[in-house]
Amino acid sequence: MRLLAMLSIVLAACSSQVPAGPSQAAVGVKVETVAGGLEFPWGMAFLPDGRLLVTEKAGRLRIVDTHGTVSPPVAGVPAVDYDAQGGLLDVALDPDFAGNGLVYLSYAEPRGNGTNATAVARGRLVEAGGDARLDGLTVIFRQQPAWESHHHFGSRLVFAPDGRLFVTTGDRYRGREKAQTLDNTLGKVVRINADGSVPADNPFVGTSGALPEVWSYGHRNIQGAAINPATGVLWTVEHGARGGDEINIPRAGRNHGWPVITYGRDYSGLKIGEGTHKAGMEQPVHYWDPSIAPSGMLFYTGNLFPQWRGHLFIGALAGQHLAHLTLDGDKVAAYEPLLTDLEERIRDVEQGPDGALYLLTDSDEGRLLKVVPATGG
């Protein structure tokens, strides 16, 4: 099993068509377990005091303190459809969290008759007497239409520098053709205000037949997203089918091609769509073939690893590694799989206030890990 995993990593490095980057050994890191016993943790967000909010896909929100103690479940979390890829997914803090205490959650929302869809809700985090709850929970976004599927919810939440909220969605697997039409939010990046209203400068506001919250389209299943601090622009990473995982820069109104163009093939081995290029459709910044199953995305800005400042890190599920990408502007100059010896599915990656990298591993005994320099740190 390990041989197959390592082989897939080697193939991914070859097919990504960029040279190898600086080696993990040259940087010198060690991995510490901060907390364990988490049931399929999915997303995390640092509170101002250094504690972490962590979601568990089964429908629990936890607070992990700086000593690694995991709290009882936070009350007031929305009901979720927990099955396969569905459940409680990402978590983000309001840009003015210090003033308003608002926490945002994305999740698979049950809609009745076996259907579900991605939704986003927000509530105010209140802590008293050792307990925590979300007050005034309000749904601010509902993906349309609902679908009878337990796959491809997308679901990363990213606040832009202007305070707008980006929500990534998936095509729900069986609804992939809808990723190319604008009358739905399947296979889209959505841009909304913090209260769920639609910004007046969204690209399809006033377009007949288009939902105004759509920012970009033609996506398959975006499970990683982050703002590039060098430009203030959103980057995303999405799952391909059998190959064709993509890093994209989803600018306003752009069509990223799925399922018309892709670098992957269907799970049956058959061709998908028309090929890899088509006029009017965007090319990815980078792609993997075979797939590494990317999830979680971070631009590193800290001081703990100065040699990594400005580099991009992405968790790999099937690839069981931390993808390290060196950038040259909007291009990937080098790619290197890190932490392959962990043999863990890495679901999310964040930078802590201490400059360390924090990872969530995807299992029923999931862990919160901390990556620091091998000496010091």
pLDDT at 13: 39
**Rounded distance between C-alpha atoms, residue 294 and residue 302, angstroms:** 22
pLDDT at 376: 58
**Rounded distance between C-alpha atoms, residue 62 and residue 60, angstroms:** 6
DSSP H/E element including 121: strand 115-128
**Rounded distance between C-alpha atoms, residue 356 and residue 377, angstroms:** 8
Can you spell out the DSSP letters for 153-209?
Answer: ----EEE-TTS-EEEE-B-TTTTGGGGG-SSS-TTEEEEE-TTSPPPTT-TTTT-TT
Distances (CA, A) of 285 to 154, 244, 295: 19, 12, 16
Token pair, residue 94, equals 């309001």
DSSP H/E element including 11: helix 2-15
In the three-class reduction of DSSP (H, G, I as helix; E, B as strand; rest coil), residue 273 is classed as coil
What's the CATH number of domain 2-369, 1.10.390.10, 3.40.50.2300, 2.120.10.30, 3.30.479.30?
2.120.10.30
Is 300 in contact with 311 (CB distance < 8 Å)? yes
Task: Please tell me whether the peptide bond between 337 and the residue prior to it is cis, using omega within 30 degrees of 0.
Answer: no
**Rounded distance between C-alpha atoms, residue 158 and residue 318, angstroms:** 24
> Strands 286-288 and 294-299, how do they pair?
unpaired
pLDDT at 149: 97
Domain ranges of the chain: 2-369
Is 222 in contact with 236 (CB distance < 8 Å)? yes
Token pair, residue 323, equals 């993808």
End-to-end CA distance of the chain: 33
pLDDT at 17: 52
**Rounded distance between C-alpha atoms, residue 322 and residue 362, angstroms:** 13
Give catalytic residues, as residue numbers: 152
In the three-class reduction of DSSP (H, G, I as helix; E, B as strand; rest coil), residue 142 is classed as strand
pLDDT at 102: 98
Can you spell out the DSSP letters for 197-235?
Answer: PPPTT-TTTT-TTS-TTEEEE--SBEEEEEEETTTTEEE
Residue written as token pair 């799925």: 258
This prediction's pTM: 0.94
pLDDT at 14: 37
**β-sheet bridge partners, residue 151:** none
**Rounded distance between C-alpha atoms, residue 143 and residue 335, angstroms:** 34
pLDDT at 130: 86
- What's the burial of 364, exposed, middle or buried (CB within 10 Å: 0-12/13-18/19+)? exposed
pLDDT tens track, the chain, 377 positions: 333 333 333 333 334 556 544 444 457 899 999 999 999 999 999 999 999 999 999 999 999 999 999 999 999 999 999 999 999 999 999 999 999 999 999 999 999 999 999 999 999 999 998 899 999 999 999 999 999 999 999 999 999 999 999 999 999 999 999 999 999 999 999 999 999 999 999 999 999 999 999 999 999 999 999 999 999 999 999 999 999 999 999 999 999 999 999 999 999 999 999 999 999 999 999 999 999 999 999 999 999 999 999 999 999 999 999 999 999 999 999 999 999 999 999 999 999 999 999 999 999 999 999 999 998 54
Q: For 240-298, how does the pLDDT look when each residue is reduced to its tens digit (9 = 90+)?
A: 999 999 999 999 999 999 999 999 999 999 999 999 999 999 999 999 999 999 999 99
Q: For 89-136, how does the pLDDT look when each residue is reduced to its tens digit (9 = 90+)?
A: 999 999 999 999 999 999 999 999 999 999 999 999 999 988 999 999
pLDDT at 375: 82
pLDDT at 119: 98
> Strands 366-373 and 29-38, how do they pair?
antiparallel
Q: Which residues, 6 or more positions from 86, have their beta carbon under 8 angstroms from its beta carbon?
A: 57, 80, 108, 116, 150, 151, 153
**Rounded distance between C-alpha atoms, residue 41 and residue 360, angstroms:** 6
Q: Which amino acid is at 222?
A: I
